[in-house]
Amino acid sequence: MYCPSTVLNQLVELTYLTAQRLSTVEGIIPPHMAGPVAHWHEMHDETFYVTKGMVRFTVPKHPGNPEEKHIDAYEGDYITVPVRAPHTFSNPSDGESRFFCTMTPSFYINYFKLLSQVVDAGKPVTREMNLDAMAMYATLSTEQAGPSP
């Protein structure tokens, strides 16, 4: 289990069944918690199925989006984040939120595995460590660089 920005992620790895085409994670966001830094993925798509509460997805301001946008997804809602789409998510509500996330292809699951090792060893995950780990798996903070049009 890895905890970036207080979002707990339970790995539900089934990559061996899909020849590395698909991986899954369950995310648990405590009330009033921010999620990961706004970011975009160069090589994989994500989907989010909200299974409990409300998750606020944010599309940050960037050259293709002149104003920040928020999408509140509730239990039963399904959100797709394509390759190169800047995004983040959070839980501004009073209750716990949960989601089931898929990543395709599956290599990004290794980001969670890497940081799980750090957390399991009792070490803190710093912002710099998190950004470096994201970059290892073709994911960049929108502060580092934006996707080219």
Tens digits of per-residue pLDDT, 73-119? 999 999 999 999 999 999 999 999 999 999 998 888 888 888 888 88
Cβ pair 33, 75 in contact under 8 A: no
- Residue 58, strand partner residues: 70, 88
CB atoms under 10 Å from CB of 82, counted, come to 12
Which helix (DSSP H) or strand (DSSP E) does residue 119 occupy?
helix 109-120
Tens digit of each residue's pLDDT (9 = 90 or more) over 14-46: 566 777 778 888 899 999 999 889 999 999 999
Query: pLDDT of 41-69, one tens digit each?
Result: 999 999 999 999 999 999 998 777 789 99
Q: Are strands 54-59 and 88-91 parallel, antiparallel or unpaired?
A: antiparallel
